[in-house]
Amino acid sequence: MSSSPSSASPFTQFVHNGAFAGLLLVCTAIIAFVWANSPLRDSYSALQQTYFSLALGDSALKLSLEHWVNDGLMAIFFLLVGLEIKRELLIGELASRRRATLAVAAAAGGMLVPASLYALLNAGGPGSSGWGVPMATDIAFALGVLALLGSRVPVGLKVFLTALAIVDDLGAVLVIALFYTSGVQLAFLGLAALTWGAALICGRRGVVSLKLYGVLGILLWFFVLQSGLHATIAGVLLAFAVPIRKPDPAGYLASLTDAAKPGRGEQVGARLRDLEDQLERSQSPLHRLEHALHPVVTFAVLPIFALMNAGVTVSSGGLGTVALGVTLGLLLGKPLGVVGGAWLAVRLGVAALPRRVNWPQMIGAGLLAGIGFTMSLFVSNLAFDDAALLTQAKLGVLMASVLAAVLGAAWLLLVSRKGEQVAVTGLKPDH
């Protein structure tokens, strides 16, 4: 079913913009990498360490630009992730038990196997805390590659990879909250809990004002930041408070029938405008917020994050077990875990492959799941205080993400051509 751009779902818009969004991320990452390894590298470090203060009465919050991006802007990214998770759980792909089981099983394997590979290589060493780095999938990059492949890839595979990445992100959020959190300040944690409770009450009562959720979200972010938990968790917490409701088909039909009644041109035009207004108002706060955040995150938040975090100075860290663990975790552990988890779920009869998707294509999805980039870079910043180890982790993420994108695209092109050959000849490709 086709739809106009204005009525397209957030998922459809995300896939359509995926190629450009991925390209934008690549370009900003390359700019940061070249800048950090050029004679102007000092200006890059100076930009990261430029401090800005936000004063509120007698108190002030002073953070470097790098921290404002990683703790502030990325909270918006995590808000969008939370909205996507909630929507998928309630009315999306994860609302179906069998489809959800496939995505959860694949994501679980895709997190456990990379983390285990990394832990084996770095057990007892200074880089042991980085086991969470190769666990996540970058939705923008992965879907960007699929968008470039176009109709060669079945829609079912795109939907599966999206659901997988969303479950993956949920797992990453839990890992950050449980394992990459500093000492907790109970007073601020209590204030954060009260603020979140107020947001949840508003959501349960069907409050639709996005401005109210915005104010509560800013307070929640500040209290979570001061509590010692990572501030971006506030974005996910707020997302689960924003209400979602199903549209009323009867109301739409009545308005559409009224708009179709005969009359003068200006009368029909006025009815159509009323119908458009009603359709706009009938969108749930979650859908409205998700539509508003998609372009902000895709074309501003993520590129700025890449610019601030992909500037890795190669000479300062070199390659070691941290870089090797991240690279093997994403390139080898991800496809093994994703395909293995999905195969086990299908074998046990609790899940089924998406329509028109076969196991060779699932291997391609597993390879693309190795594009860690955004979330992996983010976890790297939390896992390592040592600059040399952080450099190794980021180098591993960048190398593995590029190789995963190339290998995944090449593999899917190969299996799609073999599939076309079978469809045309009726024979296996090697006959």
Do the domain assignments include residue 116?
yes
User: Is 54 in a helix, a strand, or coil?
Assistant: strand
Do the domain assignments include residue 250?
no
DSSP secondary-structure letter at 70?
I
Q: Which long-range contacts (CB under 8 A, 24 or more apart) does 257-266 make?
A: none
User: pLDDT digit of tens for each residue in the chain (431 aa)?
Assistant: 334 444 455 555 554 556 677 778 888 989 999 999 999 989 999 999 999 887 766 667 888 999 999 999 999 988 998 898 888 888 877 778 888 899 999 999 999 999 999 999 999 899 999 999 999 888 778 877 887 787 788 888 888 888 898 888 888 888 888 888 777 788 999 999 999 999 999 999 988 899 999 999 999 999 998 988 888 889 989 999 999 875 455 554 555 555 455 555 555 556 556 555 555 556 788 988 999 998 898 889 989 999 999 888 876 555 789 999 999 999 999 999 999 999 999 999 999 998 889 999 999 999 999 998 888 999 999 999 898 899 999 999 999 999 999 999 999 999 987 655 544 455 554 44
Distance in angstroms (rounded) separating the CA atoms of residues 323 and 389: 8
Do the domain assignments include residue 383?
yes
User: Is 61 in a helix, a strand, or coil?
Assistant: strand
Structurally, the chain folds into a number of domains equal to 1
Do the domain assignments include residue 220?
no
Q: Are 359 and 366 in contact (CB under 8 A)?
A: no
Q: Are 264 and 201 in contact (CB under 8 A)?
A: no
Sole residue written with tokens 């009815």: 271
The set of residues, in sequence order, having a beta carbon less than 8 Å from that of 305 and lying 6+ positions away, is 69, 70, 73, 74, 77, 374, 377, 378
Q: What is the pLDDT of residues 126-157, one digit of tens each?
A: 999 999 999 988 877 887 788 778 778 888 88
Q: What is the pLDDT of residues 242-279, one digit of tens each?
A: 998 754 555 545 555 554 555 555 555 565 565 555 55
Identify the CATH number of the domain in which residue 318 sits: 1.20.1530.10
- Paired with 60 in beta bridges are 55
Dihedrals phi, psi of 52, to nearest 5 degrees: -130, 140
Please state, as a whole number, how many other Cβ atoms lie within 10 Å of the Cβ of residue 33. Answer: 20
Angle at 71 between CA 68 and CA 75, to 5 degrees: 115
Angle at 385 between CA 383 and CA 387, to 5 degrees: 115
Q: What is the pLDDT of residues 321-368, one digit of tens each?
A: 999 999 999 999 999 999 999 999 999 999 999 888 999 999 999 999
**From residue 273, how far is each of 254, 283, 288 by CA, in Å?**
15, 16, 19
Distance in angstroms (rounded) separating the CA atoms of residues 169 and 142: 13
Distance in angstroms (rounded) separating the CA atoms of residues 10 and 80: 11
Please state, as a whole number, how many other Cβ atoms lie within 10 Å of the Cβ of residue 185. Answer: 15
Side chain identity at residue 234, one-letter code:
A
Do the domain assignments include residue 335?
yes
Tokens at 259, concatenated: 């708009």
**From residue 177, how far is each of 184, 278, 379 by CA, in Å?**
11, 40, 11
Angle at 297 between CA 278 and CA 367, to 5 degrees: 115
Which range of residues forms the domain containing residue 23? 10-181+295-425
**From residue 395, how far is each of 260, 363, 376, 391 by CA, in Å?**
60, 25, 11, 6
The set of residues, in sequence order, having a beta carbon less than 8 Å from that of 414 and lying 6+ positions away, is none
Do the domain assignments include residue 236?
no
Q: What is the pLDDT of residues 15-25, one digit of tens each?
A: 455 667 777 88
Do the domain assignments include residue 3?
no
Angle at 226 between CA 376 and CA 65, to 5 degrees: 55
The pLDDT of residue 94? 75
**From residue 412, how far is each of 12, 131, 315, 353 by CA, in Å?**
21, 29, 35, 16
Do the domain assignments include residue 216?
no
